[in-house]
A = this chain, B = another copy of it.
């Protein structure tokens, strides 16, 4: 317990938050003021951290799921002594280039464990962090990994559907070191939450296997007692803290007027007088600041002791632990890929790319069995991303390296973000490509944060057949390619599958989608000397003579392009085939390379069982596109491609009608 009065310490948060929002004329003062007591108790008495070492692997994780209350976090970082979070940064809240953007951004600001703002995702990402902790603790021992994950969540976080997926998983896995402090202020932007909600959250969480209780969120003793109980629970815990939004603002507290805008000069002054704090903007009394700084270094001794224990781990295990946290791949991986690709040349594989991916997964899991962490949203047998030896992760089997996420695509992808951000694992998750629609908010955050996760998205076109248009992706490749920093690979055969997997695993600064087929494909590649997928596209079949046409295709349609090329060659029309495993990666190449790959054959045809959107950048406005112009249909595989006119013959005809 700090020497300075709790209220004065909490009021430092309130003062800084009010001032920063006022200066920016934009932001959310209500949550920082309302949750200041909760945060003060947590950061001064419970949270294990050392402000001098924000990357300490065994620190407690703190996630502000209600990211709009960012000034709470920035105030805490400043007060506890983050070296970069100066008072000037607080004064530059929400300004261009500051470390204090409107919502906390991981990778942009030290001490921000994950990017939050899109509601519900913080709590779901925290579930992933708690999973990673549980797994690493079981593997490296509690002397090395033994920390909590704390979340401050808002009404909005708990209204978003993703919260249900997250809490169901946390309850099922008994993630007892996950503690959610719910800032239950009863106010959303539109007004009282009673406008749209009457859920009893304590009962709801209990129904999902959590410990849950209600407390007064301004009673420091009650907060401390509840956190102490939570730490002893064998379940994850929800502490619903009844608070007053904008606590201290005499006229606006407890209303939506203090949710998302500055208090205004008069109310700010009145609030400060009411709280008994200085009217001087951005001022914190010396003794209060000192007490906060002490709180920020409470963990220094524990951290040093931990460093000692890490030293005792033995150099090999220590190196392994540190390598894992750096997301560095083991040397065995590249070697295993090389060997495997050579084997493929000797024994070509005709298989669905989801099946050749399964073979690759055996190779990867062999090279990094404990860090390769696959999972599926209840389609394990269809997605084929479970290594044979991997067992199911559960409360009782924390060394299991396959996660049954249930039918929860968004919760899965948010948890994967948390697993990656925690460190120690290369997570991948699987479902049907069409269901990336459900997962998109977390996939976008992965791209924004630069999280190196892999999505195994199978059944990647109308080729899935009978399940019909609800399950057939048509626009998804395009919609995913449009996301900045997202990589989408759609390999055409077993060799490309291996190459794309290797690129995906080595991409630790952004997410990768692997779009894989349900249906069988032949092996087309006859050389494995380099990995041409790294350029997004490459010439798979050269023209015999000066090319009159180039056929571009990805995935399952490359086979059609190759067949069409052969027919055209027989008719004396020299044609190239360019395999395009990643359209957006091709377009991102330096102009010279891009132009060389695209080439200047007068006729350009693209074949992809998806919408044209984006392909004009390769084939031009007048290029021929053979693909989808509508949603799909329920039919067996052998009927469906001809029905939509996606065939080698269509490609041949498209060239013939253009070639002069």
- Closest chain B CB from A520 CB (angstroms): 16
Query: Which partner residue on chain B sits nearest A410 by CB separation?
Result: B161
Is there contact, CB below 8 Å, between B188 and A406?
yes
Given A199-B171, A381-B189, A621-B617, residue A469 in contact with residue B482 (CB < 8 A): no
Q: CB within 8 A of A96: which of B445, B630, B640?
A: B640
Say how far A174's CB is from chain B's closest CB, in angstroms.
9
Interface residues of A in 408-440 (CB under 8 A from B): 408, 410-411, 434-435, 437-438, 440
Residues in B neighbouring A621, C-beta threshold 8 A: 616-618, 620
B613 touches A95 (CB 8 A): no
Summarize A's interface: helix, strand, loop or mixed.
loop
Contact (A470, B117) CB under 8 Å given A475-B484, A484-B611: yes
Given A161-B160, A410-B161: A199 and B189 interface contact (C-beta under 8 Å): no
Convert A478-489 into 0s and 1s, putting 1 for each residue whose CB lies closer than 8 angstroms to a CB of B: 110111110000
Residue A204 lies at the interface, judged by CB distance under 8 Å to chain B: yes
Q: Is there contact, CB below 8 Å, between A470 and B448?
A: yes
Verify B203–A209 contact, CB threshold 8 A.
no
Q: Once the chains bind, are A474 and B484 in contact (CB under 8 Å)?
A: yes
Q: Report the count of interface residues on A (CB-CB < 8 A).
A: 109
**Of all chain B residues, which has the CB nearest A483?**
B475
CB interface residues, A 348-384, toward B, < 8 Å: 376, 378-382
| Chain B residues with CB under 8 A of A197 | 168, 172, 406
Q: Min CB distance, A377 to chain B, in Å?
A: 9
- State whether A94 touches B635 (Cβ < 8 A): yes
- Least CB distance from A151 to B in Å reads 16
Q: What is the chain B residue whose CB lies nearest that of A441? A: B437
Q: A444 — which chain B residues lie within 8 A by C-beta? A: 437, 475
Interface centre among A169, A382, A440 (most CB of B within 10 A): A440
- Is the Cβ of B160 less than 8 Å from the Cβ of A163? no
Q: For the complex, is A250 an interface residue (Cβ under 8 Å from B)?
A: no
Q: Which of B24, B120, B411, B628 is close to A466, meaning CB atoms less than 8 Å apart?
A: B24
Binary flags per residue of A207-240, CB closer than 8 Å to B gives 1, else 0? 1110000000000000000000000000000000
In the bound complex, CA of A208 to CA of B188 (Å)? 18
List B contacts of A408 (CB < 8 A): 159-161, 196
Residue A286, interface by CB 8 Å = no
Residue A273 CB within 8 A of the other chain: no
User: Could you tell me the distance between the alpha carbons of A98 and B102 in the complex, rounded to whole angstroms?
Assistant: 52
From known contacts A195-B392, A479-B479, infer whether A159 and B155 are also in contact, taking CB-CB under 8 Å: no
A6 at the interface (CB under 8 A from B): no
How far apart are A382's CB and chain B's nearest CB, in angstroms? Answer: 7
Check if A101 is an interface residue, CB within 8 A of chain B. yes
Q: A203-B203, A208-B199, A634-B101 are in contact. Are A190 and B620 (CB under 8 A)?
A: no
Which 9 interchain pairs have the tightest Cβ spacing? A161-B161, A101-B634, A196-B406, A117-B470, A96-B635, A203-B207, A164-B164, A479-B479, A156-B407
* Sample (6) of A-B pairs whose CB atoms are under 8 Å apart: A27-B466, A102-B634, A189-B381, A190-B404, A478-B478, A618-B621
16 further interface pairs, Cβ-Cβ under 8 Å (given A102-B634, A168-B198, A438-B441):
A94-B636, A95-B636, A96-B636, A105-B470, A159-B165, A160-B407, A164-B164, A171-B198, A171-B199, A201-B207, A437-B440, A475-B482, A482-B482, A482-B613, A484-B628, A614-B616
